[in-house]
């Protein structure tokens, strides 16, 4: 088995003209167009970083030349490689997934098992109190999960517990590729009492599906910093996970140079793409006021 865990801090990335135009040349034209439609630069940067992470992974770990990579999306939006690499008569069985939220974009990949990854930043709700926010979100968690969230301590600690549970649920849904139609109350997480850290992911959290504990799914959890929770779901469709799993590896923080180290342009330079990007606001006014 192989494992890849990469993160890129797009929140502190202020692209130069040459960086943004080069990055835009290194993704597929339809993805470039989709990224260009974002209203705010923070969202465009996150989406661009996610696509570059995917292509870097396929190029470097699956050894497919950058210009030969063709990424598609399932009807539910999960990215996949349109023409998987063959070794002998069998395809290379890498599963990969990306997530971007808050200040980071990240990728998790694994050989031989399904993988889903999600990152959530602990932020205060914009227009409501924490109790009102929780009331609005009531149906997203089970009664047991709410008891854990609301007994976490201060409002800040309760929000951290909320986003930790949310990342876990999203990582599982992304691993199975179900999308928005999945009833989140079917899944209940019993989180590890261990304190999450930035140095080493933990795997003690367990999942119950339709009230039955699932031994064939493993969840890695860690922090990228004090505000960003990460969950990685590992499982299979029909068979138990390989035993023993190798120890979980922490996320490696990449620079922009790392991100494009293997990249090669797919299209010609489009100066108007920079003009459009540089004319956008970074984010909504409320977010700018907060930060």
What order do you get walking across the sheet with 206-209 strand by strand?
187-190, 206-209, 212-213
**Residues 208, 150: Cα–Cα separation, whole Å:** 20
**Residues 44, 282: Cα–Cα separation, whole Å:** 9
β-pairing verdict for 3-8 and 252-254: parallel
**Residues 76, 83: Cα–Cα separation, whole Å:** 19
- Where does 117-211 have alpha helices with state H? 130-136, 143-150, 155-176
What residue ranges define each of the domains in the chain, with the CATH number in brackets? 1-110+249-291 (3.90.470.20), 113-241 (3.90.470.20)
291 residues of the chain, pLDDT tens digit each: 689 999 999 999 999 999 999 999 999 999 999 999 999 999 999 999 999 999 999 999 999 999 999 999 887 777 888 876 554 545 557 899 999 999 999 999 998 899 999 999 999 988 789 999 999 999 999 999 999 999 999 999 999 999 999 999 999 999 988 766 788 889 999 999 888 999 899 999 999 999 999 988 999 999 999 999 999 999 986 667 777 778 899 999 999 999 999 999 999 999 999 999 999 999 886 554 444
The answer to whether the beta carbons of residues 71 and 83 sit under 8 Å apart is: no
| Cβ-Cβ contacts under 8 Å for 112 (sequence gap 6 or more) | 1, 93, 242
The answer to whether the beta carbons of residues 201 and 195 sit under 8 Å apart is: no
Rounded to two decimals, what is the model's pTM? 0.92
């Amino acid at each position: 088995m192989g494992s890849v865990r990469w993160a890129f801090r797009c929140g502190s990335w202020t692209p130069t003209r040459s960086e943004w135009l080069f990055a835009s040349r290194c993704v597929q034209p339809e993805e470039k167009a989709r990224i260009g439609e974002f209203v705010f630069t923070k969202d465009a940067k996150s989406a661009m970083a996610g696509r570059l992470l995917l292509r870097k992974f396929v190029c470097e770990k699956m050894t497919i030349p950058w210009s030969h990579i063709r990424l598609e999306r399932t009807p539910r939006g999960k990215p996949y490689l349109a023409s998987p690499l063959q070794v002998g008569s069998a395809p290379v069985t890498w599963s990969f997934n990306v997530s971007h939220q808050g200040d980071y974009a990240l990728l998790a990949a694994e050989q031989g098992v399904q993988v889903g990854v999600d990152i959530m930043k602990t932020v205060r709700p914009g227009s409501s109190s924490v109790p009102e926010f929780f009331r609005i979100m009531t149906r997203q968690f089970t009664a047991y999960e709410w008891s854990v969230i609301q007994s976490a301590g201060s409002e800040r600690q309760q929000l951290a517990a909320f986003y930790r549970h949310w990342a876990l649920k999203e990582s599982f849904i992304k691993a199975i590729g179900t999308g928005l139609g999945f009833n989140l109350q079917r899944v209940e997480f019993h989180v590890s009492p261990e304190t999450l850290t930035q140095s080493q992911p933990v795997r003690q959290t367990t999942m119950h599906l339709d009230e039955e504990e699932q031994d064939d799914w493993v969840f890695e959890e860690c922090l990228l910093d004090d505000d960003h929770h990460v969950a990685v779901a590992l499982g299979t469709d029909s068979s138990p996970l390989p035993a023993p799993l190798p120890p979980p590896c922490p996320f490696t923080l990449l620079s922009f140079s790392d991100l494009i180290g293997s990249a090669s342009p797919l299209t010609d330079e489009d100066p108007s793409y920079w003009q459009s990007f540089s004319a956008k606001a970074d984010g909504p006014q409320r977010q700018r006021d907060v930060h």
